[in-house]
Amino acid sequence: MQFDVIVLGAGAAGMMCAATAGQRGRSVLLLDHADKLAEKIRISGGGRSNFTNIHARHDCYVSDNPNFCRSALAQFTPQHFIAMVERHGIAYHEKKLGQLFCDDSSQQLIDMLDAECRDAGVDRRMGVQIAEVGRNDAGGFSVATSIGTFQCQSLVVATGGLSIPQIGATGLGYRIAEQFGLPVTKLDPALVPLTFHVDDVARFAPLAGVSLDVEVRIGKVRFRENVLFTHKGLSGPAILQISSYWQPGQEIVIDLLPDTDAEAWLEARAGSDQLLANAMGELGWPRRFAEAWLDGQGAHLRGRDLSPKKRRQLAETLHNWRVLPNGTQGYKKAEVTRGGVSTKALSSKTMEAASVPGLYFIGEVVDITGWLGGYNFQWAWSSGFVAGKNC
């Protein structure tokens, strides 16, 4: 019942940490309340897991202090994880923008991490309920569980965020942080579809399934990817990305024609009899989208109807379409949680809590949220590795 290290949460970060600590000769107990190992790895990337991004850098992360992740990302880089993947003979490919996916199945990564833990002598127990965590008389920690009370010198919290509660996400990590007096920043669903106000739902619901290549902006933050219209609002990679920066009440601005000078395009149709909704097919717009979008601007407009002033106004709206979402689809649909255990309370080199020696927080439970595209797993591997080296 006595271990050097107890890791709570056998997900991406927890398994990486447990294996790394075990390889150093530490006796490690890895506990998880779920019956299945690392469910989020299994469902990630459509079953093929976008397991890292070769461009991972601190400025691809949202946090009160994005600089915090520099040290861990430098100590365990995407190349380090790729080397492990290659050592285990797992085939992978780059899909786009530096995003690496398994050729076959995300299960291969789970098996890889499980094998690393086994080889490092990690004692892993699944289906274990964590009842209470506290300090013991020896200056370490005690963890009371449904299978008994365990003691350890170092306690690593890797219980992840709140997204997808149906596969085991809980707020345990945040509660442990608060129990030990560590600050937790505001928590919100992130990498999440945004929802429309009622009027916009009625207008755009028939467009569910339409996808367009756009640039989405909030302030100076911008993403060039696809937006997808859904029955409830907007989704697709561009929206998931910007959702991590969105605050309630804030407008998002969408450039619907990022590669076209809209005013010049409208000017070229100045004398035309053709309905703009039809002409917009040239720009790659599905007709039903053009009709629905132009509805607010005048669905029956023809090129010849537009004065220079109207052309300028329409072009301005095409490049700066302002959308006011009324919310998100919440943790049930979010890929991650924005916010978490404050980086102010942790060492960026080791992930140890400054005020509670021996207590570590890693992975998504920390206030570090990566962009879409493999950045969140890279944070889990990097933070798990550095804690495993030090705990």
Considering only 9, 22, 193, 303, the residue that binds ligand FDA (CB under 6 A) is 9
Q: What does the buried/exposed string (b/e) look like for 91-118 if buried means 16 or more CB atoms within 10 Å of the residue's CB?
A: ebeeeeebbbbbeeebbbbbebbbebbe
Q: Does 14 bind ligand FDA (CB under 6 A)?
A: yes
Q: Does 50 bind ligand FDA (CB under 6 A)?
A: yes
Binders of ligand FDA in range 140-159 (CB under 6 A)? 158-159
Q: Does 124 bind ligand FDA (CB under 6 A)?
A: no
Binders of ligand FDA in range 329-368 (CB under 6 A)? 335-336, 363-364
Q: Does 283 bind ligand FDA (CB under 6 A)?
A: no
Closest CB to ligand FDA among residues 25, 127: 127
Q: Is 205 exposed, middle or buried (0-12, 13-18, 19+ CB in 10 A)?
A: middle
Binders of ligand FDA in range 183-242 (CB under 6 A)? none
Mode of pairing for the β-strands spanning 28-31 and 123-125: parallel
Considering only 153, 163, 195, 343, the residue that binds ligand FDA (CB under 6 A) is 163
Q: Is 191 exposed, middle or buried (0-12, 13-18, 19+ CB in 10 A)?
A: buried
Ordered alpha helix ranges (H), the chain: 12-23, 39-43, 70-75, 78-87, 107-119, 172-179, 198-204, 237-243, 262-267, 276-279, 287-295, 308-319, 375-390
148: Cβ–Cβ under 8 A, 6 or more apart, which residues? Answer: 1
Alpha-carbon torsion angle 270, 275, 277, 281, nearest 10: -80
Residues touching ligand FDA, count (CB under 6 A): 36
The region of 21-29, 45-53, 264-272, 350-358 touching ligand FDA under the rule CB under 6 A is: 45-53
Alpha-carbon torsion angle 130, 135, 141, 142, nearest 10: -40
The region of 9-17, 65-73, 79-87, 347-355 touching ligand FDA under the rule CB under 6 A is: 9-17
Q: Does 10 bind ligand FDA (CB under 6 A)?
A: yes
Considering only 19, 20, 45, 110, the residue that binds ligand FDA (CB under 6 A) is 45
Closest CB to ligand FDA among residues 49, 230: 49
Residues that bind ligand FDA (CB under 6 A): 8-14, 32-34, 38, 40, 43-45, 49-50, 130, 158-160, 163-164, 168-170, 172, 335-336, 363-364, 374-377, 380
